[in-house]
Structures are given as structure tokens and as C-alpha cells.
């Protein structure tokens, strides 16, 4: 029983660290200049993005591509510019973090 509690604590800590690291990555790459987790800024709130893509099998790949290449039309007329500073692996991490913010 003690081991189960210890393992659960380690898992919770690991997950919290991952979420924090991805928020820090979003800050470092300038994503949070236009987006926020819970409120619309220039772009949609990340929780709204997560809801929009919920249940879509290719959501992480599509969102990761948009993070790097930019996009337009999904949230209105204002385009999201490409972000060449984000490497493909970082875009994947950011996309998965966003999609898990439900």
C-alpha cells in the first residue's frame, strides 16, 4: 500500500512538471503573447482550442503544423503567423499540452 501511494505521488509530480514545462515553452517561444490558457487574447484561449479539436485523431499533428507554419480561417479572419523558432518536436509538445488543457 505504501508503494502505491509513493508511485501515485511521483506520477502526479511528473505530470505537473510536464504541464509547467510546456507552459514555460509556450512563454519562451512567444505563444503567450497572443494566446492565454483561459481567455481569448489576439488568438483563441488554449482551452477553446482543446475543445475544438477534442476527439480528432490527427489533432496533435494538425495543431503542431499550425504552430510552426501558421494558419488562417479556423478562428476568424486574423491569421496566425508562422513561428519558425519552434522546432517540430517542440510543436508536438506544445500541441499535446494544449490538447490536454480541457
Instruction: Give 37-78 pLDDT, tens digit per residue.
Output: 999 999 999 999 999 999 999 999 999 999 999 999 999 999
- Choose among 65, 35, 31, 33: nearest CA to 49: 35
pTM, entire model: 0.78
The rounded distance, in Å, linking the Cα atoms of 48 and 76 is 14
For residues 54-85, b (16+ Cβ closer than 10 Å) or e, as one string?
A: eeeeebbeebbbbbbeeeeeeeeeeebeebee
- Degrees to nearest 5, angle at CA 59 with 36 and 84: 60
Q: If one looks up domain 2-99 in CATH, what number appears?
A: 1.10.760.10
Q: What is the pLDDT of residues 12-32, one digit of tens each?
A: 444 444 455 799 999 999 999
DSSP 57: T
Q: Where are the domains of the chain?
A: 2-99
Confidence of residue 82 (pLDDT cuts 50, 70, 90): very high
Residue 3 CA, chain-centre distance (Å), reads 32
Amino acid at each position: 500500500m505504501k508503494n502505491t501511494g509513493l508511485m501515485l505521488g511521483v506520477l502526479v509530480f511528473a505530470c505537473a512538471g510536464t504541464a509547467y514545462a510546456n507552459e514555460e515553452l509556450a512563454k519562451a517561444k512567444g505563444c503567450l503573447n497572443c494566446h492565454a490558457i483561459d481567455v481569448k487574447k489576439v488568438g483563441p484561449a488554449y482551452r477553446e482550442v482543446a475543445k475544438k479539436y477534442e476527439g480528432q485523431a490527427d489533432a496533435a499533428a494538425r495543431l503542431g503544423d499550425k504552430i510552426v507554419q501558421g494558419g488562417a480561417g479556423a478562428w476568424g479572419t486574423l491569421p496566425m503567423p508562422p513561428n519558425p523558432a519552434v522546432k517540430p518536436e517542440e510543436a508536438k509538445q506544445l500541441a499535446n499540452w494544449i490538447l490536454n488543457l480541457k
